[in-house]
């Protein structure tokens, strides 16, 4: 089932977003705010101490909710607060990516959210309407695929090919987390049938899947918008 590795994977596209988008948004940011934002300063800003603290806080809240830190000993109201904290910190980690989108192509933000909602609703409904346990076999395959992506990402730091790995994390990762929607939905149904009605933990599982799909759709749409702009600019230069 999706857990802490899925949270890290859902944020990896934000951390690995290529420098071309950053270069393109720098001119817009600098003209609107009156100061320069170089790729180096952006990297330092996005990996600074507040960002690290946000990631740590997100993981701690997730661990607490999943029972690794005695989550059963705290009251339900506190667990609702932890769930809200997870949503808050997860949103904070998306800040750099959303800043790029708003500075370059703000219109795709709503489109990506609506597309993610449609995908999530359709595959959740498919899992609910399918025969019971028919999608549970996906668990091993999805975990193995995530492990391969993680190994590819680690290998790219030493062997190169980070652009290829980034694209693989986008498209293959999108398919993986769509599969996790099917898998997690049926796991939640089976757990509920056996008396596990921890709706907070179940909501967290599906929330992680939703965010991971949203991030990948947003980055894919941003890349497509940039390619269209490049083609449009090249045609103007030819004329």
pLDDT of residue 196: 82
pLDDT of residue 13: 55
Does 72 have pLDDT greater than 80? no
Q: Which region, left, alpha or beta, applies to residue 195 given φ > 0 means left and ψ of -120 to 50 means alpha?
A: left
Average pLDDT score over residue span 91-120 = 91
Judge whether 96 and 103 are in contact, CB under 8 Å.
Answer: no
pLDDT of residue 185: 93
Judge whether 132 and 186 are in contact, CB under 8 Å.
Answer: yes
Q: Which residues contact 59 (CB under 8 A, 6 or more apart)?
A: 4, 7
pLDDT digits (tens, 9 = 90+) for 25-34: 343 333 333 4
pLDDT of residue 19: 36
Radius of gyration of the chain measured on its C-alpha atoms: 19
Q: Specify the DSSP element, H or E, that contains 167.
A: helix 162-193
Average pLDDT score over residue span 63-81 = 65
Please, what is the average pLDDT of the chain? 76
Does 214 have pLDDT greater than 80? yes
Structure tokens at 180: 């996790």
DSSP 144: H
Judge whether 163 and 18 are in contact, CB under 8 Å.
Answer: yes
Q: Between the CA of residue 87 and those of 105, 168, 206, 221, what are the distances in Å?
A: 24, 26, 12, 23
Q: By C-alpha distance, which of 2, 209, 178, 219 is closest to 96?
A: 219
pLDDT of residue 59: 67
pLDDT digits (tens, 9 = 90+) for 121-172: 999 999 999 888 888 888 889 999 989 988 888 888 888 788 888 888 889 9
Q: Which range, 70-79, 93-102, 155-164, 168-177, is most confident?
A: 168-177
pLDDT of residue 132: 84
């Amino acid at each position: 089932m999706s857990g802490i590795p899925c949270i890290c994977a859902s944020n990896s596209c934000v951390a690995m977003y290529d420098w071309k988008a950053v270069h393109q948004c720098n001119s817009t940011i600098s003209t609107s705010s009156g100061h320069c934002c170089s790729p180096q300063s952006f990297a330092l800003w996005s990996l600074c101490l507040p960002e690290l603290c946000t990631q740590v806080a997100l993981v701690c809240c997730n661990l607490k909710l999943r029972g690794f830190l005695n989550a059963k000993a705290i009251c339900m109201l506190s667990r609702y607060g932890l769930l809200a904290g997870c949503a808050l910190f997860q949103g904070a980690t998306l800040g750099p990516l959303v800043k790029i989108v708003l500075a370059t192509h703000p219109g795709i933000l709503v489109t990506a959210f609506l597309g993610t909602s449609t995908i999530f609703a359709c595959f959740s409904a498919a899992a609910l309407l399918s025969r019971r346990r028919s999608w549970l076999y996906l668990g091993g395959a999805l975990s193995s695929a995530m492990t391969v992506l993680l190994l590819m990402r680690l290998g790219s730091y030493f062997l190169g090919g980070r652009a290829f790995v980034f694209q693989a994390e986008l498209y293959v990762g999108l398919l993986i987390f769509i599969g996790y929607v099917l898998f997690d939905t049926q796991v939640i149904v089976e757990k509920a049938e056996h008396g596990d009605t921890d709706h907070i933990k179940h909501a967290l599982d599906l929330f992680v899947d939703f965010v991971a799909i949203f991030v990948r759709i947003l980055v894919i749409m941003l890349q497509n918008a940039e390619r269209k702009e490049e083609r449009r600019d090249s045609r103007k230069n030819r004329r």
